[in-house]
Structure 1
């Protein structure tokens, strides 16, 4: 796959539409689409490498640390004064050859930024910055004959271009999913310069679009790793219980390299005494199927994980995988064949005690520990794929996950390039996380407005496409979206968005007591659904400034927020099709939409915990509700 460097930031719709075909072609083994832009220099450059899973379980070297950085709001390091790509841009990482040569940048004298990390929280002047920042690190590497090397990024927001020793590796768009570049042929023994241009500008055709309610953290926000492999290596695999026959594990292994069709692969689960050797077909794919009756099921109370080895003669990859089934029966969600009520909370990817992008295992374990403290068994990871450490911590801690892509509010439904981007990000999320037992729900959208013709407009066509795409990639999980409802009369709310016809679980966002009347309005509301399917109330709540106390009738006080949760709990108990809740939100988070001085100060204050980690009164209201629900509806496998 190749693409060329563009000479304008905004590619035309026609050029971007070409990515749709690539997105569709890559659906079976998703490749991560590269872009094709016009009027490029003569030399084409490689694109994003086919996606590699479980980097942590491979032979890898971290490139995390302190990288040199240059702020570049005019993109001077990439374009010349005619807005054409500059062949001697900053990616060359050059020094003047003599005292007469003019070079107007110097990475070695430039400030340092932590990688992983967002730039907004590291430098005060970058708090609201949207634009380009250049990153550079140097490393030494010698590669033995017959070995391959990839540089892997866990995520960079939003567009990232990378160069090795001045040679372009490729470009990736999408701020929350992994990507990588093969550098085998570009590598000689010695010290190497890796330069990355990261641009977090928002664009109407992008996913997410320009309109959102969270902080646009820019930078290389997740881990960067050098991954060394044999010439033929295991690129991807999946192992899950067969939904049609849970007595068996089924899956596949995908090899990459010249000997893919001739390399045997052995899958071992030592603790269960299971081992199987398979031979790939001509495409390098080997189908796996073995008896699962020795495997204990994964559940919130018993998050059983098994050490799994995927081995060839040249490498062994290690993972920890849990095995469980998911299904729906009428309005119930079934885990391992038994009904489960999802007691959850929504969460943004912010650090527990700081206003910055979260990325670490410690961040994840603290936040999920708060979910468990609430009495929860479930978290909605809004509104984009969170980092891989979060999913692995959820596996270990027994927290069920709703994972989603940022198809949010009002994106360009009729733009083929926007659809291609959504499919790409959905595919990259599913590829990365489909071996995580905790992931139960793939979400394709949040609060998207209905078409004028709800059953046949561009929005419904777009979202049905995404549903079909994810079903083609993974048939072991449930598909959902957070929908909007409508009133019939004054006191009846109906959920009948036509998208619900193709979903397994209906999500619904409502803000009775905050955006919709007083908290007491919930007392008189009747809920109806057009679908005989489980309902998760995916958002509800209201704002409170931690430490602000006063009458329960006064907005912004902890007492008012607690009152919302009291009235909501009473209403939720009366909804017959309700199968779960994930109110908004675990922790206060940054948002430029929230400027009210002394109260918001650019934070959304709907958190049950403040941005400094302090619990509000509503935390204990929800905790009380969840303890009652758990007593009434014990989790599958829980001690009775």
Structure 2
């Protein structure tokens, strides 16, 4: 048996080296929301830097020419993508300058941090004309110290955002989802004491112990006393930080372990002086034993669905708790106990709601298709994006799988790249399983063999298979014989077919609901006969925007593989999957 339950200190302190000094639990801190209406200037030729857009203070000079004015510019909502807020920006990729004025009165002895939940893809942040910093990566949080640049009274925040695609970016030039640009998640001005709790982590260890670690940062991080409380367990402990501001403690406990059937979450508080941070977290273990996945030591079959972070009843980037509840509520209604968050880190609300609803999570970074695997800087970016995702989500019991890639080519340089990345993931967080979605199986006369080298690196093998859609007749799928060179759990991380909701058609007509149903029926026969199968996540919950899907009258730049339409209407295949999951659940309970 391979257990991934190890000392928390490895997870906690190693994760900090990857994720810099982010604040844990940004939503739970004292803050001023900077969400709402922002002014915006579209800058397709990138002239804004030269024309000093970043120095705008709301009062254009009267004595010289200035050819821009944020106050009279277009308005965009934050959080939000620009593509779906203005028809002129639907296809736009490039720079947009955002500006927001806000009032601020500093409190004596307080420090301030500007925290962005996500900006796609490049962000340069200016406060009152001062560059606070830059960030690359479209789906992970970042922050900058703002205290010295803040003024009492009116402040002007300017953010240059660019969502262009470049060969050395992650993701790279081509994806099969919409490249939504903008400040797509909340913006927060967080208030801190001069010495504050920066980070913390809770982990349940096999055998009945809980490990807690804390990092204190700021003015005087050494020898600080932090009180930890888990009231529902009757636990109250005090930790004292070392010279670097770190402290950890392990103690005996008997929590009710988190499961999809009973997703128990415990309230936790951390107190430093007059500061108290509160959170909710669950306790569980996840490991593999041969070709079985074990949750809390018991075999579990993952009944899942893949999800893109798109609004439930339209297009556009989703971000709110309400949207998360709709999307994940649909997953529960389908009969899922697991969700694959494709193909990038989803917003924090999705993780927290998954915790609450009892949905195990496959969380992923966008190492997607053929990126520059021979570029050390790209590897560093992949590690950065993983580190930022891990740092934010490490206290979420729902996350059981870290995915480091999707449908990458089977080459030596790619395998070397992903092996190093997998090793980094394990070193940083050995309490979860490593996976990736692979679509490079060897073809035989009777089916497929999983034999590529990278499948031997991951803990759980993810397989994307589109039998009956991109190749072979659907009935051929039912006859597939799958073999694996590895005694490991396999998740069919994608399978499916497209259908335009409402077009019933017949089972020989592509894009009809009848043909989609035919493909799924034959694939489910294949899955019922597949060895080592530990779970499935069909592609996918709902139709989503995709620039690679132009077929007029059918796709219209939507990927139509959803079980639901872009408006959330159920297709026929929804009910087939719902019945199959009910059957699988009954089998598991025997």
Q: TM-score, normalised by structure 1?
A: 0.89
C-alpha separation in 2, matches of 1:225 and 1:96: 25
Residue in 1 that maps onto 2:217: 256
For residues 629 and 28 of structure 1, do their structure 2 counterparts lie closer, same or farther at Cα, with a shift above 3 Å needed? Answer: closer
Residue in 2 that maps onto 1:23: none
For residues 55 and 566 of structure 1, do their structure 2 counterparts lie closer, same or farther at Cα, with a shift above 3 Å needed? Answer: same
Q: How does 1:544-583 map to 2 (within 5 A)?
A: 544-583=499-538
Q: Which among 374, 379, 384 is matched to residue 424 of structure 1?
A: 384
| 2:33 aligned with 1:55 | no
RMSD (CA atoms)? 1.3
Q: Which among 351, 357, 374 is matched to residue 397 of structure 1?
A: 357
Instruction: Tell me by how many angstroms 1:502 deviates.
Output: 2.1
Question: SS at the partner of 1:633?
Answer: helix
C-alpha separation in 2, matches of 1:473 and 1:397: 27
Residue in 2 that maps onto 1:504: 459
Question: SS at the partner of 1:150?
Answer: strand
C-alpha separation in 2, matches of 1:229 and 1:528: 56
Instruction: Tell me by how many angstroms 1:314 deviates.
Output: 3.2
C-alpha contact 1:30 1:51 (8 A) present in aligned 2: no
| 2:468 aligned with 1:468 | no
Instruction: Tell me by how many angstroms 1:488 deviates.
Output: 4.2
Q: Deviations over 1:487-528 (max 9, x none)?
A: 342113011221122211110000001011111111211001
C-alpha contact 2:262 2:358 (8 A) present in aligned 1: yes
| 2:439 aligned with 1:478 | no
Question: SS at the partner of 2:147?
Answer: coil
Residue in 2 that maps onto 1:340: 300
Residue in 2 that maps onto 1:450: 410
Q: Deviations over 1:331-367 (max 9, x none)?
A: 1111111110000010100011010100011111111
C-alpha contact 1:485 1:493 (8 A) present in aligned 2: no
Question: SS at the partner of 1:185?
Answer: helix
Q: How does 1:141-152 map to 2 (within 5 A)?
A: 141-152=104-115
C-alpha separation in 1, matches of 2:59 and 2:270: 49
| Higher alpha-carbon deviation: 490-499 or 549-558 | 490-499
| 2:342 aligned with 1:382 | yes
Q: Which among 276, 300, 305 is matched to residue 316 of structure 1?
A: 276
Question: SS at the partner of 2:179?
Answer: coil
C-alpha contact 1:268 1:275 (8 A) present in aligned 2: yes
Residue in 1 that maps onto 2:321: 361
Q: Which runs of 5+ in 2 are unaligned?
A: 1-12
Q: How does 1:75-224 map to 2 (within 5 A)?
A: 75-78=46-49, 86=50, 89-94=52-57, 98-224=61-187
C-alpha contact 1:351 1:363 (8 A) present in aligned 2: yes
Question: SS at the partner of 1:297?
Answer: coil
Residue in 2 that maps onto 1:241: 204
Residue in 2 that maps onto 1:7: none
| 2:245 aligned with 1:290 | no
C-alpha separation in 1, matches of 2:462 and 2:360: 15
Question: SS at the partner of 1:624?
Answer: helix
Residue in 2 that maps onto 1:41: none
| 2:46 aligned with 1:71 | no
C-alpha separation in 1, matches of 2:431 and 2:57: 51
C-alpha separation in 2, matches of 1:463 and 1:265: 39
Instruction: Tell me by how many angstroms 1:123 deviates.
Output: 0.3
Runs of 4+ in 1 over 6 A off after TM superposition: none
Instruction: Tell me by how many angstroms 1:144 deviates.
Output: 2.4
C-alpha separation in 2, matches of 1:602 and 1:98: 45
C-alpha separation in 2, matches of 1:417 and 1:89: 30
C-alpha separation in 2, matches of 1:30 and 1:604: 38
Residue in 1 that maps onto 2:234: 273
Q: Which runs of 5+ in 1 are unaligned?
A: 1-25, 34-49, 79-85, 452-456, 635-639
C-alpha contact 2:58 2:71 (8 A) present in aligned 1: no
| 2:498 aligned with 1:527 | no
Instruction: Tell me by how many angstroms 1:132 deviates.
Output: 0.5
C-alpha separation in 1, matches of 2:408 and 2:58: 50
Instruction: Tell me by how many angstroms 1:96 deviates.
Output: 6.2
Residue in 2 that maps onto 1:8: none
Question: SS at the partner of 2:323?
Answer: helix
Instruction: Tell me by how many angstroms 1:99 deviates.
Output: 3.3
Question: SS at the partner of 1:612?
Answer: coil
Residue in 2 that maps onto 1:633: 588
C-alpha contact 1:394 1:438 (8 A) present in aligned 2: yes
C-alpha contact 1:136 1:194 (8 A) present in aligned 2: yes
C-alpha contact 1:479 1:504 (8 A) present in aligned 2: yes
C-alpha contact 1:587 1:608 (8 A) present in aligned 2: yes
Instruction: Tell me by how many angstroms 1:108 deviates.
Output: 0.6
